[in-house]
Amino acid sequence: MKRRSIVEKASEFPALDALAAALAALPRADDVRAFLEDLCTPAELEAMSDRWRVVPLLLKGVPYREIHELTQVSVTTIGRVARTLERGAGGYAIAARKASRASASNRAS
């Protein structure tokens, strides 16, 4: 793994910008899934899925232990996601808000 300072901004990583643009260009969830399956190892996909699965529960204020019981995601991972929700770049909250709107829109259709 390449060593980089954690204080560097994402815009200082052109490859990350290109990856974000590629994801944003994909119009359907099926396309994003196919891209992620090609890009990531099964372990990476599981780790990302676990993190994403706990986001809505954390946003609802569900206690860590209850989230663990519901999802089998480790309390350590849940804590990391919670910390990122509080102090991260805001991506989890943006994605959760948009996913919630899309889900509500699909239910209304």
Domain boundaries, the chain: 11-108
What's the pLDDT tens digit per position in 73-83? 999 999 999 99
Determine whether 21 is exposed, middle or buried from the number of CB atoms within 10 Å of its CB (0-12, 13-18, 19+): exposed
Rounded to two decimals, what is the model's pTM? 0.80
Which residue, chain included where needed, has tokens 């676990």?
50
User: Which CATH code fits 11-108?
Assistant: 1.10.1270.10
What's the pLDDT tens digit per position in 31-65? 999 999 999 999 999 999 999 999 999 999 999 99
What mean pLDDT, rounded, does the chain reach? 91
Side-chain-facing half-sphere of 21: CA atoms under 13 Å:
8
Cα–Cα distances in angstroms (integers) from residue 87 to residues 2, 80, 106, in the given order: 24, 10, 31
